[in-house]
Homo-oligomer: A and B are copies of this chain.
Amino acid sequence: MRRGRGGFGLGFGKGWWLMAYILRVLRDGPVHGYEILERLVEDGLAWGSPGSAGGLYRQLRVMEQMGLVTSTWDVTGGGPAKRVYSITPYGMEYLYEVVNDMKALKREIDGFIDAFER
């Protein structure tokens, strides 16, 4: 996600949010991609729209590359095999960092709005 460089010091972009969401879900236990997709839809986050599923799986693979999550195949049960993701210790650390970044972002927004309303 290329954090800590230039700009406002916060790693924005849609991927950042999706990643935060995924990490938060995985913190409560291993889940496979399709289920994350369903939760996104439930939560009204438009990532569930047709065509956007690819983006989720893509993000999951990026996160595995980054060492935030690991995956194993679950071939039990009916239907196609599921790739089940688990959060790593680094992923947990990262999640805490992301939450801190969110709090920092809130402060930046407050600063902006103060300057705007002044």
Taken together, the copies of this chain in the complex come to: 2
Task: Verify B116–A24 contact, CB threshold 8 A.
Answer: yes
Docked-complex contact B102 and A112, CB < 8 angstroms: yes
- Min CB distance A97 to B, Å, is 12
Interface residue from B7, B47, B49, B112 paired with A14 (Cβ < 8 Å): B7
A116 to B23, CA, bound (A): 10
Place the interface of chain A in its size category.
20 to 34
Q: Which residue of B lies closest to A9 (CB)?
A: B46
Q: Which residue of B lies closest to A7 (CB)?
A: B14
**Chain B, residue nearest A21 (CB):** B112
Q: Is A94 an interface residue (CB 8 A)?
A: no
Let me know if A81 is at the binding interface, CB within 8 A. no
Q: B105–A7 contact, CB under 8 A?
A: no
User: Shortest distance in angstroms between A31's beta carbon and chain B's nearest beta carbon?
Assistant: 15
A111 to chain B: closest residue by CB: B43
* Distance A45 CA – B10 CA, assembled complex (angstroms): 11
